[in-house]
Structure 1
Amino acid sequence: MTVAHRTALLALVLHMLTGWAWWDPAVGIAIGVLLAVVAWLLARRSKALLIDAAAPDDVMESLHAAVGPQPWIERIHDMRAVYVGPFQLLITMEVEPTATVRERPGTDLVAHVTALRGRLLDEAGVADAVITVV
């Protein structure tokens, strides 16, 4: 039995006990207010998903710490994290490898990028990570 059913039943019982016919509409209005409040709370909670909001600074700091200084990375040009679920992040980043890594076979670079992606995916709340080499 849902909250709506219980309140409707309560309204009927109160009508039978008191004889006041306005219990049913009053409880109906209360149910409507309850539904409006729940809708507002859900919309407020989902706002970050709807507007593609970036992750907070503390989350970004932990992601930067997870990446850490890598000997094969010259520079990280861009790192972004957006919510793709209530507690799930999509990480995108652009990395520039060092000159020595660029001169080696491409399989070395692929191994480095794959390992970095694995470290990011091991972080709590990371749904996917996309790493672009520039």
Structure 2
Amino acid sequence: MRSGSIATCAAFAAALMAAWPGLSSAQPADEFPFELEMTLEAPAKPGSKRIPSIEIGEKGEARLELWCKSGAGQFSVAGNTVVFVPGALEDRGCPPDRAQADDALVAALTAATGWTRQGDYVTFSGGQTLRFRLNTN
């Protein structure tokens, strides 16, 4: 391929990415899932269909929807190191078992020190391993 053809192909690819907004902002599969929502790989609790999910904003701000409680927090990421700082949780009159499970999940996220991503799965590691599936639909 001649150098003029390579430049033409590169210009075409750049124009194509600019023309399709979702295409240029796609995250590589090894980046932290900023601006995405993910669901914990766990079964629902008896008497409930809810499974915890986290929506992470552009700057690491997080919205948590747990088995019963909801709240906010903040993720800070440097390489494969992660720090999660929880905010206040809203107690929705939870049964004791779900409230305890929510508190334990937040404690496990707070104890996490590392993260990895493989495709649509994000794993937090530290005291306990937590695996989340990215909601890609």
Q: Taking structure 2 as the reference length, what is the TM-score of the superposition?
A: 0.31
Instruction: Looking at secondary structure, tell me which structure has more strand per residue.
Output: 2
Higher CA-based Rg: 1
Name the one with the larger helix percent: 1
